[in-house]
Amino acid sequence: MNKLFEELQAADVGKILLNEPLANHTTIKIGGPADLLLIPKDINGLKTTMDLIRKHNTAWTAIGRGSNLLVSDKGIEGVVIKLANGLDHLTINGTTITVGGGYPVVKLAMVISKEGLDGFAFASGIPGSVGGAVYMNAGAHGSDISKILTKAHILFEDGTMEWLSNREMEFSYRTSILQHERPGIVLEAEFELKEGTKKEIMAIMQKNKDYRRDTQPWNFPCAGSIFRNPLPNYAGQLIESAGLKGYSIGGAQISEMHGNFIVNAGGATAQDVLDLITYIKETILEKYDVVMETEVEIIGRK
């Protein structure tokens, strides 16, 4: 790791931190250290980083703004690549927008709404990056990324870069090809939107924002929705009907506002959250014979 660190420094690829606590980089404020955390300054820096990671045969993990993520208390082995300011470019060309993987989703929704572009308002409350949203086909309010994405620029672990079409991304409910067959990092995304009325778009965004504020616990550190909806059921409704709202293990608590959110009520560990997830799964299976699958991504050392 020392040799890799030296070569990354010499290549001037971006900001590099050793043994950085990932609790500082996740929305639930949980997570042990990354052996090496790197925030690339641009796409070329990220490409060089991946080349050096491959040269040294080192494990790597990519994160965005740290939402929808639970990092082990023991941290993450190898290099953690955080997409942030270096990959936050935005180009608007008529109804087509091209945006960097590190661009905040909430900010993007606001910026393009002011341009009178319609189709992205559903994402106005998603607290992640564009790259993460594409990676997991993020969605809300009856829509998702797959409805508007035309293509995505991906860096694969072999160092190649390729634009994948919407079809090639193989989107399904909260998943894409990047989670399975072809692991990679979303460098950029192209979205095709529609011309709309700024006033109407802003009204929809405000309605969505009010709904989230009134129903979801954003006043506590949390990772977003913990479980996928086991359709035709809804995860939150099942958890609430089982009487689990407010139930806690250690510092992790099922939100009093929404059953599908686990909050860090103070000093929670990743193990607290994992134990609570297991308890929820067992309870719902016993009561309703429904298998619950996590939506939150659980990563790091076992």
According to DSSP, the residues that pair with 38 across neighbouring strands are 16, 81
* 188 lies in the same domain as 231: no
Look at the alpha carbons of 176, 191, 105, 86 in this order and tell me if their dihedral is positive or negative. positive
Identify whether 212 is part of a domain.
no
The answer to whether residue 208 scores a pLDDT higher than 90 is no
Identify whether 207 is part of a domain.
no
Can you give the pLDDT at residue 209? Answer: 81
pLDDT digits (tens, 9 = 90+) for 239-271: 999 999 999 999 999 999 999 999 999 999 999
Catalytic residue among 124, 176, 225, 255: 225
Identify whether 168 is part of a domain.
yes
Task: Say which residue the tokens 């955390």 belong to.
Answer: 37
CA 237/CA 240 separation, integer angstroms:
5
Among candidate residues 200, 229, 253, the one where a domain is terminated: 200
Active site annotation includes 167: no
For 141, the enclosing helix (H) or strand (E) is none
Identify whether 165 is part of a domain.
yes
Mean pLDDT of the chain: 94
Task: Say which residue the tokens 């095709």 belong to.
Answer: 192
> Could you tell me the CATH number of the domain that includes residue 244?
3.90.78.10
* 30 lies in the same domain as 101: no
* 71 lies in the same domain as 118: no
Can you give the pLDDT at residue 249? Answer: 98
Query: Crossing angle, helix 198-215 and helix 105-114, to 10 degrees?
Result: 150
**Taking a C-beta distance cutoff of 8 angstroms, is the pair 148, 138 a contact?**
no
Can you give the pLDDT at residue 205? Answer: 86
Helices of type H across 151-269: 198-215, 235-241
* 78 lies in the same domain as 99: no
Q: Beta strand 248-249 with 222-225: parallel, antiparallel or unpaired?
A: unpaired
Q: How many CB atoms lie within 10 A of CB 65?
A: 25
Whole-prediction pTM: 0.91
Mean pLDDT of 234-242: 97
Peptide bond into 217 cis (omega under 30): no
pLDDT digits (tens, 9 = 90+) for 149-169: 999 999 998 999 999 999 999
Task: Say which residue the tokens 């067959």 belong to.
Answer: 181
Per-residue confidence band for 238, with pLDDT thresholds at 50, 70 and 90: very high
Active site annotation includes 255: no
Identify whether 205 is part of a domain.
no
Can you give the pLDDT at residue 141? Answer: 84
According to DSSP, the residues that pair with 254 across neighbouring strands are 262
Identify whether 152 is part of a domain.
yes
Catalytic residue among 20, 188, 190, 295: 295
> Could you tell me the CATH number of the domain that includes residue 67?
3.30.43.10
Count of structural domains within the chain: 3
> Could you tell me the CATH number of the domain that includes residue 185?
3.30.465.10
- Chain centre to alpha carbon of residue 293: 17
- Chain centre to alpha carbon of residue 264: 18
The residues near 123 (Cβ < 8 Å, ≥ 6 apart) are 105, 106, 108, 109, 133, 138, 139, 140, 145
Catalytic residue among 129, 174, 188, 212: 174
Active site annotation includes 188: no
CA 191/CA 157 separation, integer angstroms:
24
According to DSSP, the residues that pair with 59 across neighbouring strands are none
Identify whether 40 is part of a domain.
yes
Structural domain that includes position 24: 2-85
Identify whether 123 is part of a domain.
yes
* 102 lies in the same domain as 144: yes
pLDDT digits (tens, 9 = 90+) for 107-131: 999 999 989 999 998 888 888 899 9
